[in-house]
Amino acid sequence: MRKVLYVMSFLMLTFVGVNKTQAQDIKFNDDWRFFNAEAEGAEKNSFDDSKWRNLNLPHDWAIEGPFSEEYNARCGGLPFHGTGWYRKNFKMEASAKGKVVRMEFEGAMYDAHIWVNGEFVGNRPYGYIGFEFDISNYLKYDGSDNVVAVRLRPQDLSSRWYPGAGLYRSVWLKIDNPVHVEQWGAYITTPTVSEKLGVVQNETTVVNTSNKDAKVVVKQEYFSPEGKLAASIEDEITVKANSKEVSGTYVNVKNPKIWDTENPSIYKAVTTVSKNGKVIDTYNSTFGIRAISFSTEGFFLNGKKIRFNGVCLHHDNGSLGSAVYKRADERKLQIMKSMGVNAIRTSHNPPSREFLEVCDELGLLVLDEAFDVWAEAKVPNGYNVFFNEWAERDIKDMVKRDRNHPSIIMWSTGNEIHEQHNKKEGWKVARMLSNYCKEVDPTRPTTLGMNNFEAPYKMNFAAQSDIAGINYKPTKYGYIHETYPQLALYGSETSSCTSSRGVYHLPIEKYTTHESLHVTSYDLIGPPWAYPPDVEFHFQEQNPNIMGEFIWTGFDYLGEPTPYGGKDNSTNGYWNGHWPSKSSYFGAVDLCGFPKDRFYLYQSQWTSKPMIHLLPHWNWKGMEGQDIPVYCYTNCDEAELFVNGKSMGKKVKGKDLTELIVKFSRYEGDSFQSKYRLSWNVPYQAGNIKVVGYKDGKQVLEKQINTAGKPAKVSLKVDRREINANGEDLAYVTVRIEDKNGNLCPNATNLVNFSVKGAGELVGVDNGNQISLESFQANHRKAFSGMCLAILKSSKTSGKITLTAKSKRLKSAVVVVETK
């Protein structure tokens, strides 16, 4: 991304001034007009859009709702399909004439058609990949208005989850000289990496749109994570008229700061293009100096073997929908890292630029995935409609856009593709897509996730990618490794356990669905292919050559309310059989970002810092004297449970087993003896339960849960007291319903009303309840299992945001966030 220069904006009118020699990228998110319906003639400059809604991007129109049974619960029960129009007026100064003016859309959902001044510029159907168009010849440079119009037409039955709708990622106006660096034109690799030396190779593509050859100097400067110049080099090239040329250079960086999961060191590359001694373009990139390798023995980062403690993540951010805010992705990924996650699978589409930037910054490994479907349909109007025409362009653009991110370690060409069953043609398509990736980036391996057994292996499909991803076949890891020893293997989707935060159904039993439309948090329920996390832990241990796992999923997401509503991969449409169930139960974390109990089960396996977790809550009025199963998730050696101060005995992790009711595809038996959880059955009596964890015989920590009294107050806790006054930054406020002593009331459903004053606004509310039809954009929310969430967004004015939360008959609460 080039340096962004100053732009003066007013309502619906942007004046763009142009430096005579330098290029500039202008964030084009403010002051758009929006209309959510067909609008004949809306592409024309003369069209009257004065009654349309005025808004700033990013924007997801579908998240505004309302929820309705007329929409597909499989896609969140929200109105994501239909037609949406966006228009923006702006002026171009005369100094921009003769330059190259491009408009870049980082994501438009979907089937985007673009007009400038009434002239059709182009179409891009895939909503998950960015694109740009040269609009130079469509513009007026005389000070009169230019109009860009965008029409989007998301289709019903086009997705298996909530895709969102609208211009949900940023838009940029890019003004360049005729000679400039191509979009995503700097390709940086590090072929040699050691503590003493890092070789940085840079292949920068320079475009010349003029009718004359251009002799230019391409200078590469590399800056350390501390901002110090680490190396530089110049290269003189001639770019012929109406052509492009690659400047290929390498430099040696002494004693480099190596990027890894613990110390994610980010370097900056500044590329300048000069002609006749004057700089005519500047292009900034970030990268990491690191080395990756794969074999049938595992994955290696900088020579060190690393197992994937991974999660699959869909792209929505709960109540914000698909609209991209960097802070939302940052918070999501920070929560995942605190669970012990070191790897992310972007299921099942290319993520946003911001998402990958955060992964770079946090040291998270990324499996970057292109498609959920190829030519054979899963739903009638899915990407299959566009695959034959657009697959090559889309997957190459994904790789070209993302290849400088050090976090990315694999390119995935698809997920559970139906072509895996096609003996004649499937393997050919798999090879074709893999080759497309390698044409653009030969430094990373390709993969795909396969759910069928054993067809893709027998039919030569799995062998077309460098690494085979296995979905939900833990009992077959050993067989696949022994039968196909040349394949490098990992669990690309695992477990698919489901639960609702804070909900516990007694007695413990394995059911398909429950009348409450919730799922117990004892962490054993899932669809027919699914199994508790413990089973995956066991088979990963039994098969050390498996590179690790990516659980389905890290966070709950909108849509796919399995086990309710329908059957996965069904092409018959709607999943409304258990309405209002309309969002995922799969997450280890709910839609709000509040951890479920399963979060701590993974944390107990994936982290080393002593931790301990206890469940369930201890409010069971009417069940006095009845046995309550109590579970403990810990990485301590031993744990001791106390009920009202009386010891219920110590349990040793790995020795004292917990029997789980288990039945899933390709598993013999109906139970599993888990060494990963400790458990007791104790008669209920009000008061408290406490668990104490021991390491090497010494007490290291404890966790206590008290029986809560009546709800007495609202409690607020904000994730950050200070945020940026940029109109984009977010503060997340956790809302708890507590008794007079500060204990969470685990069954509370009190309605909380919010009011906001000052330099910001309320942009989202949620409670993680998969069957709630409350608006995400209201100024109120009921608590679910005692909690809900409010999200604040800054304005562009420094000051303070004051959030007040009130609930009938409860003590209210106030939190203040400063914006700078």
Residue type, 791: I
Report d(CA 233, CA 253) in Å as an integer.
12
3-state SS class at 356: helix
d(CA 782, CA 772): 9
DSSP tally for the chain: helices H, then strands E: 8, 48
Is 416 a residue of the active site? yes
Torsion of CA 25, 29, 31, 35, to 10 degrees: 130
Contact present, 6 and 18 (Cβ < 8 Å): no
Residue 368 near residue 398, CB atoms below 8 Å: yes
Query: What is the rounded distance in angstroms from the CA atom of residue 375 to the CA atom of residue 402?
Result: 24
Q: How far is CA 259 from the centre of its chain?
A: 21
Compute CA 330 distance to the chain's CA centroid, rounded to the nearest angstrom.
9
* 805 exposure class (CB count in 10 Å sphere: 0-12, 13-18, 19+): buried
Contacts of 556 (CB under 8 A, 6+ apart): 318, 583, 584, 585, 586, 587, 589, 590, 591, 768, 770
Q: Which residues, in sequence order, are CB contacts of 591 under 8 Å at separation 6+? A: 318, 319, 555, 556, 557, 558, 583, 766, 768
**493 an active-site residue?**
yes
Catalytic option among 416, 560, 738, 774: 416
SS3 assignment, position 155: coil
Nearest alpha-carbon partner for 311 in 336, 276, 283? 336
Q: Are 74 and 156 in contact (CB under 8 A)?
A: no
Q: Which amino acid is at 20?
A: K
How many angstroms separate the CA atoms of 309 and 298, rounded?
13
What distance lies between CA 643 and its chain's CA centroid? 41
C-alpha 512: how far from chain center: 29
Q: Which residues contact 42 (CB under 8 A, 6 or more apart)?
A: 35, 49, 85, 87, 149, 151
| Dihedral angle, C-alpha 524, 526, 531, 534, nearest 10 ° | -30
Sheet holding 243-254, edge to edge: 179-193, 197-208, 243-254
Bridge partners, residue 816, by sequence? 802
Residues 383/154, Cβ–Cβ less than 8 Å = no
Degrees to nearest 5, angle at CA 793 with 788 and 798: 135
Identify whether the C-beta of residue 604 lies closer than 8 Å to the C-beta of residue 634. yes
Q: ω before 163 within 30° of 0 (cis)?
A: no
Which one is catalytic: 132, 245, 493, 728?
493
Residue whose entry in the numeric block shows the structure tokens 């403690």: 309
- DSSP strands (E only) in 403-484: 408-415, 446-450, 467-471
Strand order of the β-sheet with 298-301 is 292-295, 298-301, 304-306
Residue 54 vs residues 8, 161, 253: alpha-carbon distances, Å: 18, 28, 49
**CA 205 to chain CA centroid, nearest Å:** 30
User: In the chain, what is the straight-line distance between the N-terminal and C-terminal CA atoms, in Å?
Assistant: 25
Among 149, 144, 148, residue whose Cα is nearest residue 92 = 144
Q: Are 127 and 107 in contact (CB under 8 A)?
A: yes
Catalytic residues: 416, 493
